[in-house]
Amino acid sequence: MAKVKVKRSSTESRARITILSIILILIVASIVSVEMSKRWLYPDYYIYKSSKLTSQARIVQLSDLYGKSFGKGNAKLVNSVEILKPDIIAITGDMLPANAMENDVDALCDILTQFKALAPVYYALGDTENDFIAENGKEFLTKIKNAGAIVLDGKYEDITIPNEIKPLELRIGGVYGDLNPGDVSYGKVQRFMNDFCFTDKIKILLTHDGKGLLNYGYISSWNVDLTLSGHTLGGVVRVPVFGGLFGVDGGFFSKYSKGKFDHDENGYKSSIVSAGLGTDRDFPPRFNNLPDLVCVDMERDLTD
């Protein structure tokens, strides 16, 4: 029996080539996005305005490094911070990898020393730091303090930033926990927050996980002007229009995975959530989610 040859039309061939080309482009784009999300440092600029500010200042926030290295000795990260010329460097935790070793602490201390040469470094602890302390003791705190970090663990400092026009007075504090005002087990945290909020100065709070403040609405209970947090990793996978896909504590498309969120009509009470610099997981990798170097310009609001 003779074989019947099926001749494909040129239209069908072009359609197949088009589909295969699209698939190939998507695969290449995905690989490029994953690699960029590992290696490219992305300055994320925000403006915070308040009539209480007497002059300008710049804060650079670092979060969720997880021991990742941007170049030898993290030179690329240090250089990127230096270019931004911060008045304050704010660290909101999880700079150590999970199951960190002493060499990870040494690497962290090395970059803290370099940051200290650029601006005062204020450090609020995250999950990995607290896990390391629970396993290895509080010598970690001594090491990062000796490296130049000012550790804000249930503590605050009143600081003055020099300015040619007028020095800027701020209160900056750090605390670990969800800041539930009704949880009596957090008595120490509540006392700290009450003391921290008792001032007319601009109050900047560093806290690793802002879930309680933002998702549960506890922010309304505390008189804080600007809150800086991390932990979310930007939802790991950033979906255009919809935002971060995964919540690190479960759920999908959390509203508060990354960005600036205002809690009053003037924006005088705001929170900024960093997508972080690294990741605590191999899968899924960060996708469409560049390492986040948060840069906050604080400016006086002259309209009020």
For the segment 123-153, what is each residue's pLDDT rounded down to a tens digit? 999 999 999 999 999 999 999 999 999 999 9
CB atoms within 10 A of CB 256: 19
Q: Which residue type sits at 206?
A: L
Does 23 fall in a domain? no
Segment (H or E) for 190 = helix 187-197
CB atoms within 10 A of CB 83: 12
Does 32 fall in a domain? no
Q: Identify the CATH number of the domain in which residue 149 sits.
A: 3.60.21
- Please give the Cα distance from 144 to 102 (Å, whole number): 12
Does 79 fall in a domain? yes
Cis peptide before 284 (omega within 30 of 0): yes
Can you tell me the mean pLDDT for 10-36?
58
Q: Give how many domains the chain has, as a whole number.
A: 1
Are 155 and 129 in contact, with CB atoms under 8 Å apart?
no
Structural domain including 147 reads 43-300
- Closest by alpha carbon to 129, among 155, 165, 104, 166? 104
Task: For residue 46, name the pLDDT band (cuts at 50, 70, 90).
Answer: very high
Does 291 fall in a domain? yes
pLDDT tens for 248-263 read 665 778 889 999 999 9
The reported pTM is 0.87
- Please give the Cα distance from 120 to 95 (Å, whole number): 17
DSSP label of 184: G
Can you tell me the mean pLDDT for 54-82?
94
SS3 label, residue 281:
coil
For residue 230, pLDDT over 70 is answered with yes
Does 84 fall in a domain? yes
Does 5 fall in a domain? no
Does 63 fall in a domain? yes
pLDDT tens for 259-304 read 999 998 888 899 999 999 998 877 677 878 889 999 999 999 877 6
| Residue 302 token pair | 């002259």
